[in-house]
Amino acid sequence: MKHRRIPKRKLAITGGSVLAVMAAGLTLQSANASDVTQRYPVKPLSVTAAGKLASSLSDELGPDLIGTYYDAAAGSLVVNVADEAAADSVRDAGGRARVVQNTLAELAGARRTLTDKAAIPGTSWAVDPVTNKVVVTADRTVTGASWNRLSEVVEGLGHKAELRKSAGEFKPFAAGGDAIHNDGGRCSLGFNVVKDGAPHFLTAGHCGAVGSRWSASPGGPDLGRMVDSRFPGDDFALVAYTAGGLQPSEVNLYDGGTQRITGAAEATVGMPVRRSGSTTRVHDGQVTGLDATVNYGNGDIVNGLVETSVCAEPGDSGGPLFSGDRAVGLTSGGSGDCASGGQTFFQPVTEALGAYGATIG
């Protein structure tokens, strides 16, 4: 008998930079988790297949599944579970099971506590499946009384949370792939999509308002008009192309080539990803967290983001995050830069596609 699937919670979390960058092939176990003995070899999986297996197991196990991540070196899906009965289901499906200390309810409770007691601009939190904790990060603006309050709240959560400090500052990358311009500045085009049979493209919601006109160069002819924009809460927008004709589903790699995009995929912790943007071009990294919420300050809180180790800078906003030929996300914001490194958050592209009833073009 299958459990009813528990909808993903979106909890307010304040923006900071989580510095835990999960190395490819990480195999170290945290002190509060243990691998369950496998009676059969773990099935080697591609990152796409691992994502599909994670979704299937989530449907089957419900709250007994406490998180997953992809071990790129071993080519396996690591699945955190509540008990050995659930571990049997994971093993039989070809995943690697870990019985962990903190349950899904405990981690959700920790996030609620942080939302209620520590909603401080310049902080972020997300569940880290590798450590089985809620990782809370404060950026460099969190000092004095704010730092003391945050430290006290995290300390009160005991083994369920961990506090980290970032040298950077979390902010939306206001100002992709190819550059797009309006009177307010420059962003990056995300992915070309089709809605109701007509060509559109996705970008970040914080880039502009409904009705704003966009061009491929400053002061150039209209490329399209923004027909919907969602920020804060979410961070995605839809632009209708001015001219007819479908646009190619590909990402500019800034080396004379492009990456064809054939569909969308849900992010998985450990997934290798690339980002293209009009400021810093193409950079690589990994997915390090899911369902993160970031407080950019001034009441701009965004929920349900994909957390990565990829760098980005202003002007890269809205640009595409992809893994192979699959669209994964749209650049939202983060800290650091591509000289010293940093952490970047992305709006899941599947949520935007679902909201608009659109498909990759």
pLDDT digits (tens, 9 = 90+) for 151-163: 999 999 999 999 9
Which residue in the list 249, 317, 323, 332 is annotated as catalytic?
A: 317
Annotated catalytic residue within 64, 235, 300, 316: 235
Residue 34 appears among annotated catalytic residues = no
Q: What is the pLDDT of residue 33?
A: 62
- Let me know if 317 is a catalytic residue: yes
- Residue 157: its pLDDT value, please? 97
Calpha distance 9→217 (Å, rounded): 39
Q: Is 206 a catalytic residue?
A: yes
Tokens at 295, concatenated: 């407080």
Question: pTM for the complete prediction?
Answer: 0.82
Amino acid at 249: S
| Encoded tokens for 75 | 């080519």
Structure tokens at 252: 């500019």
Tokens matching residue 51: 């994502």
d(CA 259, CA 276): 10
Task: Name which of 297, 291, 333 is nearest 187 in CA terms.
Answer: 333
Strands 320-323 and 161-165 come out as: unpaired
**Which parts of the chain sit beneath pLDDT 50?**
1-31, 37, 175-176
Q: What's the pLDDT at 32?
A: 56
CA dist 51 → 171, 263, 269, 312 (Å): 29, 14, 9, 25
What local confidence, expressed as pLDDT, does residue 108 receive? Answer: 93
Residue 37: beta bridge partners?
A: none
User: Which domains, from first to last, does the chain contain?
Assistant: 33-100 (3.30.300), 111-165 (3.30.1340)
Catalytic position from the list 206, 249, 309, 323: 206
CB 328 within 8 A of CB 262: no
Q: Is 69 helix (H, G, I), strand (E, B) or coil?
A: strand
Neighbouring-strand partners of residue 323:
326
Do 226 and 209 contact (CB within 8 A), yes or no? yes
Specify the 3-state DSSP secondary structure of 79: strand
CA dist 185 and 62 (Å) reads: 44
